A and B are shown apart, each in its own frame.
Chain A
Amino acid sequence: MISTGRARTFWVKVLIITLLFPVAYLLMLSLATQWIFPSVLPASLTLDRWSTLLGASNLFGSLLLSLGIALSVATISTFAGFFSSKHLAYHPQRSLWIRLSYFPFVLSPVIYAAVLYFYFIKLDLAGSFVGVILGQLLIAYPYSVILFSGFWSERIQQIEKLTQTLGGSRWQIYRRVLLPMAQGLLLVCFFQTFLISWFEYGLTTIIGVGKVQTLTLKVFQYINEANFYNAALASSLLVLPPIILLFFNRKYLFRQRW
């Protein structure tokens, strides 16, 4: 029993180290003045790159831009998906609508963006902040609809009707019954759609026309330039918000519900 417990503890530690190592490595690379093979550790560490890059190459601006886009996409797609999936779920042609929701994923986001690019130019949305949000919503929104379509069951419909006869208005039903019951799913959807937007590259490149420089685009730019130290810095910024989001929401995301 003791040996089994110790073995489990050992493997848990190995797993944690394996997961944390890439993040720690990126952070150290972004702080290194010089780190040349075969040195195990960098010669010295400095905060200069962080302070210079945040100012000079507008990485902080990209961080804020990415946050703005990801938060907008996550909020809009989560709530729009929640409300519209209800109508789809109870629609006589339910299965057809749900099948259509898979369309952007079957086509691949990059091809999807290339196909729709013409309309973005016509609407003067190519290369704009709103255009990129709209483009990413074309992926995040169907994902949200698919995720919520399982929530709307006959039981939920019965609970809704029962609440009506108990005296609940449409708004009260949402506020006091449906939203609390879907709380866990809403959080998962928000988190997932945030990540979809946050790490989105292909679609953002096409719709953004290089004018909307999100953090993910910056990372690829530095990698293409073989600028590992700057790429490590941008990557550190890139992985930080999802980790913070996960850390603060862990008790809601992983909590056991009714």
Chain B
Amino acid sequence: MVTPLKAEHISKSYGSEQVLDDLHLQLYSGETLSILGRSGCGKTTLLKILAGLEPADQGKVLVNDIDIQSLSPQAREVVYLYQEALLFPHLNVFENIAFGLRLRNRSEEEIKEHTLTMIDRLGLNGMNEKMPHQLSGGQQQRVSFGRALITNPSVLLLDEPFGSLDADTRSNMQQFFKNIAKQFDITAIFVTHNVKEAMLMGNRIATLANGSLSVFDSIDAFINSSNNVVQEEIAFWESVQARRSN
């Protein structure tokens, strides 16, 4: 069975600061791996190395069992999505979603058919002609997902994609992502510093601290592990509960 993404012995340092230290990572087909870590722990650096946007000091990255270390970002079939939707401001919804197909010089009929289907599946019907500044934050994120998914990437790298949304929209988008992940059989890494979001979005969870990645085989394994942020979260809610009882 083909492994969508595998990273071996990844190390990266900036000057004397070791950000990633001999890191290993494997992603199974159709799963979302949540990576949890504090700000500045190297989550973004890891994603950028996987996407080819930043070089690793050592190690290799394999996509579908092929070593892609020497490939440019456009040839990797790994799409990196930022916290912001970053839609192209000069293109409407249809053209934003169709963008990846135009880069690949697909025929007009194919572009139209695929894009309209994607718009329908994203629940954005009737918005084809709208410009990005006319959309809400949540709608912009939907378009951003559509623009990535239409290229049929092997792996999606999501760098706190809902970080700039308000609580309600964030909750809706989390549910939306769960649905499309199932619908499109997405293999993804979801980076966040929010424990609840990590547990909600991931099939498995990993924590990144001091340059090392600890991957837990299941959500239960993560919850039951000692010395992690879940324990802090549980302790917090227990203290709230205790205060209310008193």
Contacts and interface: CB of A to CB of B under 8 A. Distances in A.
B152 to A, nearest CB: 10
Nearest to B76: A165
Interface string B13-53: 00000000000000000000000000000000000000111
A180 B90 contact: yes
Contacts of A172: 103
Interface stretch (A87-95, A156-164, A225-233): A156-164
B78 interface: yes
B89 A166 contact: no
A167 B90 contact: no
Contacts, number: 65
Interface in A148-201: 155, 158-159, 161-162, 164-169, 172, 176-177, 180-181, 183
Contacts of B86: 155, 158-159, 162
B103 A164 contact: no
B151 A166 contact: yes
Interface string B57-88: 00000000000000011101011111010101
Contacts of A248: none
B211 interface: no
Contact of B89 (A162, A164, A258): A258
B151 A167 contact: yes
Interface SS majority for chain A? helix
Given A155-B86, A158-B82, A172-B103, A164 B132 contact: no
B131 A166 contact: no
Contact of A181 (B88, B104, B148): B88
Contact of A165 (B80, B88, B104, B133): B80
A167 B78 contact: no
A161 B82 CA distance: 10
Nearest to B147: A166
Nearest to A162: B86
- Place the interface of chain A in its size category: 10 to 19
Interface string B92-127: 000000011011100000000000000000000000
B132 to A, nearest CB: 7
A177 B88 contact: yes
Contacts of A162: 79-82, 86
A168 B148 CA distance: 12
Contacts of A177: 88
Contacts of B99: 166, 176
Most central of B72, B82, B86, B131 by chain A CB within 10 Å: B86
Interface in A211-258: 257-258
B143 to A, nearest CB: 13
Nearest to A177: B88
Given A161-B73, A176-B103, A258-B132, A166 B148 contact: yes
Nearest to B156: A165
Given A176-B102, A258-B132, A258-B133, A164 B73 contact: yes
Most central of B89, B132, B148 by chain A CB within 10 Å: B89
A166 B103 contact: yes
B82 A183 contact: no
B90 A165 contact: no
Contacts of B78: 165
Contacts of B151: 166-167
A12 to B, nearest CB: 30
A167 B104 CA distance: 8
Contacts of B51: 161, 165
A166 B90 contact: no
Given A155-B86, A161-B73, A180-B90, A167 B132 contact: no
A180 B96 CA distance: 13
Contacts of A161: 51, 53, 73, 80
28 contacts: A158-B84, A161-B51, A161-B53, A161-B73, A161-B80, A162-B79, A162-B80, A162-B81, A162-B82, A164-B72, A164-B74, A165-B76, A165-B78, A166-B74, A166-B147, A166-B148, A167-B74, A167-B151, A168-B74, A169-B74, A169-B103, A172-B103, A176-B99, A176-B103, A180-B90, A181-B89, A183-B90, A258-B90
Given A161-B80, A164-B72, A166-B74, 7 more contacts: A158-B82, A158-B84, A165-B51, A167-B74, A169-B74, A169-B103, A257-B89
Interface of A: 155, 158-159, 161-162, 164-169, 172, 176-177, 180-181, 183, 257-258
Interface of B: 51-53, 72-74, 76, 78-82, 84, 86, 88-90, 99-100, 102-104, 131-133, 147-148, 151
Q: Which 3 A-B pairs have the closest CB atoms?
A: A258-B89, A164-B73, A165-B80
